[in-house]
Amino acid sequence: MDSNKKLGLVGRNISYSFSKKFFENKFQKLMLKGFSYDIFDLKEIDEVEQLFSTPELLGFNVTIPYKEKIINYLDELSEEAKEIGAVNCVLIQDGKKTGYNTDAVGFEKTLLLHKKPQHTSALILGNGGAAKAVQYVLDKNGISSQIVSRKSILNFDNLDTQTVQDHKLIIQTTPVGTFPNVDDCLKFPFEGLSKEHLIIDLIYNPNYTKFIMNASEKGAKTVNGYYMLEQQAEKAWEIWNFQKK
């Protein structure tokens, strides 16, 4: 591998980053010299144009709020990214910029690890890029799902206990409750939850969001986003390093 390979994370107001720590540890473990992982905090997505002219840039991860907006700046999309309509990993090779979605892989691994036979229908809380990847994976695994967001037909104001009882799988994809706003929690009828329920909150910082705590008080099985994050990062590493033609 050539020296001075640059990787990084594109997003807005990135106050903390799992990815930076994860990849810097990886460089150390694999004893890779000349790799760096930076935070590219962009106020607007069009600033990515400037980033693309960075010499030695091998690729980058993409986080909130640019997973969908980045697509207009890319040359090609993987099959999954095309179907999902969101990108969280970009590979730059010979000047060609290709978008991938590794959230799907990460979420699928998490889901299959914890899913039980009763988890046949799901509510997806939120409708951003991560929600799109979640919906794609649920479809692929034959689990019906409904989106709950501020503006959808089923929204946080009309979501009732019965609907929650009827959907034994709940995936929380919004950033509400992420560090430093750890006391924030979505409006949600927690009384509809039972020990039959599986709650997957994609947030990993803090480990236990208010949402997870409220859900586990009702006996629901709860999982945070850490494993998904690790798995999507591993997949990104594979894309950056093993796509050489």
Residue the block writes with tokens 């034959």: 142
Can you spell out the DSSP letters for 39-77? EEE-SSGGGHHHHHT-TTB-EEEE-TT-TTGGGGG-SEE
Cα dihedral 152/87/104/81 (nearest 10): 90
What is the SS3 assignment for 80? helix
Beta bridge partners of 106: none
> Would residue 67 show up in a list of annotated catalytic residues for this protein?
yes
Catalytic position from the list 67, 132, 168, 210: 67
Please give the angle made by the CA atoms of 205, 134 and 187, to the nearest 5 degrees: 60
Report the distance separating Cα 191 and Cα 98, nearest Å. Answer: 44
Q: Which residues are catalytic?
A: 67
